[in-house]
Amino acid sequence: MKPAPFTYRRPVTLQEALEALAGDSGAKVLAGGQSLVPLLSMRLAAPTMLVDINGLPDLAGIEAGPDGVRVGALARHSDVLADRAVRQTQPLLGQALQHVAHPTIRNRGTTVGSLVHADAAAELPVVLTLLGGSVEVASSTGTRTIAAHDLFAGPLESTLEHDELAVSAFFPALPPGAGVAFDEIARRHGDYALCGVAALVQEERVRVGYLSVSDVPTVVDLTGVADTDLGDAALEHLDPADDIHATADYRAQLVRVLTQRVVASARRAA
Residue ranges and CATH numbers for the domains of the chain are 7-51 (3.30.43), 62-172 (3.30.465.10), 179-269 (3.30.390.50)
Mean pLDDT value of segment 43-66:
96
Residue type, 112: V
Mean pLDDT value of segment 8-22:
97
Average pLDDT of every residue of the chain: 96
Residue type, 152: F
pLDDT for 2 beyond 90: no
Distance of CA 30 to the CA centre of its chain: 17
Question: For position 190, what pLDDT does the model report?
Answer: 85
pLDDT tens-digit map of 91-137: 999 999 999 999 999 999 999 999 999 999 999 999 999 999 999 99
Confidence of residue 46 (pLDDT cuts 50, 70, 90): very high
Three state DSSP letters for the chain:
CCCCCCEEECCCCHHHHHHHHHCCCCEEEECCCCCHHHHHHCCCCCCCEEEECCCCCCCCCEEEECCEEEEECCCEHHHHHHCHHHHHHCHHHHHHHCCCCCHHHHHHCEHHHHHHHCCCCCHHHHHHHHHCCEEEEEECCEEEEEEHHHHEEECCEECCCCCCEEEEEEEECCCCCEEEEEEEECCCCCCCCCEEEEEEEECCEEEEEEECCCCCCEEEECCCCCHHHHHHHHHCCCCCCCCCCCCHHHHHHHHHHHHHHHHHHHHHHC
pLDDT tens-digit map of 243-268: 999 999 999 999 999 999 999 999 99
pLDDT for 142 beyond 90: yes
Mean pLDDT value of segment 225-242:
96
Question: For position 77, what pLDDT does the model report?
Answer: 98
Mean pLDDT value of segment 143-162:
97
Question: For position 1, what pLDDT does the model report?
Answer: 72
Q: Please give the model's pTM, rounded to 2 decimal places.
A: 0.96
Question: For position 201, what pLDDT does the model report?
Answer: 98
Q: Which residues contact 105 (CB under 8 A, 6 or more apart)?
A: 34, 77, 190
pLDDT for 189 beyond 90: no
